[in-house]
Chain A
């Protein structure tokens, strides 16, 4: 890898250019087995244990396509609003690399699984639609380790556990114009794919990998500039940093009278730079041809309808529905649809409580606060959504004051006990019985003649003091609104 001079492009120069960005995203499908054999896809197994003749590329071994992988790929494509092709075809992409034991990757070329989809993004309040050119299936290569062994200066180490892991590659149209848009696209893509449970999209485990095609052109120009492929964008932060660096580099090259070369560059997160890869002369002649060991993949209407029926509601639609159906604010709807688990938890609370807005506040506030403090996911919440729903319902029915509910909830969280059980045992039920309250109010009036006089003399704010006295007498259990009303009646 050669180190290049850092780009020197002024902000003014960069501002004259328009970047054109397209992303290629590889996503590992959440299957139990590999795409063409029954080897487990489990992460972290000792090297070269989850392998068989198929994924080792031994002569004569034949691939058999996994139905689950196909169905997850269809779901992923549908979630991006792609058209599913009734017939797609696998093809061999030929190249030599030690972690590719077959000598070719089984991918899809001229007939991909899905095409013509899109992802909607919002950046700085502006909505944009990013086209998805295609979604195709392929197998992953193994893993090469170049560093960390005593003889790493002379040898690379190859682990083929990952060889044959099912992937979909999602290719976007060159529709993005800023690194922020690319960031938003990848964020949205990840959320949608997690929602439909096509993939865990865990970037640290390499379940979501991203390459970018970047070019720049003078603003207003129609023709695209020469594109450069940037690899190794394996975190959201790196994606943005690498794109910004590469855009500045290309502008600097052009501004200094040079020409951007079509090449593949690798992002180096330590240096914050991209550098050209020494590519062999014929590296890009993949000689694609139809995979003779696999039948064309046909997806008929019935099968497609079956898969479609198993799709959950997608986050964008859910957000809109939460706003319309439950009267949530847009921000709240966004937080409550961030993951499928959160959205399902919230909706159960909303339905059980009959008060969706209060339910939203409890899920986003008290629940998420305690979960965060304990480093737990919502799926691990000690308080079930039904139980939180019960708590919110007690508040809505006036049986528990909002103030006491704040004390009840942490107890539910630490014990997992039901709200009603704690409220009964600790005698926290709100007193909303006028008869019982009248006696207390009469006592407060009798005991505070001075304040009563002030109130009657026109200093109405004194009522807060009197209400406070009544609340104290009931250990906070009295219904505040009712107490206030009663005082006004008695003193009015």
Chain B
């Protein structure tokens, strides 16, 4: 096992998920399998390869940028259409004070 039960609970906490003990065990096995599979990549020597997060390196440096021209926004009706609890034009959420 590469991943510990504790790590599963920690990651679940970060993701705001409450897991049962059975789920923790299942995710531990799942995540372990995923890590092992991905770990195969480590067998390749990449010491001389630049990390690549994108495939657009060859374009003009400003090619992917936007002009500062306003576009019509969605507006509040559309924005709030699927909100579980809209109110006074806002999204209402259970009381939060701090992050």
Contact = CB atoms under 8 A, between A and B. Distances in A.
The answer to whether A and B interact is yes
A68 B68 contact: yes
Most chain A CB atoms below 10 A, which of B74, B80, B92, B99: B99
A10 interface: no
A66 interface: yes
Contacts of B87: 149, 155, 157
Contacts of B92: 155-158
A68 B62 CA distance: 11
B69 interface: yes
Given A39-B73, A51-B73, A295-B54, A69 B89 contact: no
A157 B91 contact: yes
Interface residues of B, number: 39
Nearest to B93: A98
A160 B71 contact: no
B44 interface: no
Contact of A68 (B13, B14, B67, B71): B67
Contact of B70 (A40, A70, A97, A98): A40
Interface of B is mostly: loop
B89 A89 contact: no
Interface stretch (A129-137, A298-306, A338-346): A298-306
Interface stretch (A29-37, A176-184, A484-492): A29-37
B94 A154 contact: yes
A31 B92 CA distance: 29
Interface stretch (A273-281, A418-426, A447-455): A273-281
Interface size class of A (residues with CB under 8 A): 35 or more
29 contacts: A32-B69, A33-B66, A33-B70, A33-B71, A39-B73, A48-B89, A48-B91, A49-B73, A51-B73, A51-B75, A51-B79, A52-B73, A52-B74, A53-B74, A56-B79, A67-B67, A89-B53, A96-B99, A144-B96, A149-B87, A152-B95, A156-B92, A156-B94, A159-B89, A159-B90, A282-B10, A295-B59, A300-B61, A303-B61
Interface of B: 10, 13-14, 16, 53-54, 56-57, 59, 61-62, 64-71, 73-76, 79-80, 85, 87-99
Given A157-B91, A159-B89, 18 more contacts: A1-B98, A39-B70, A47-B76, A51-B75, A52-B73, A65-B64, A65-B66, A67-B66, A70-B65, A97-B96, A154-B94, A154-B95, A157-B88, A157-B90, A157-B93, A160-B79, A295-B59, A303-B61
Interface of A: 1, 31-33, 37-40, 46-53, 56, 64-70, 89, 94-98, 144-146, 149, 152-160, 277-283, 285, 287, 290-292, 294-296, 298-300, 303
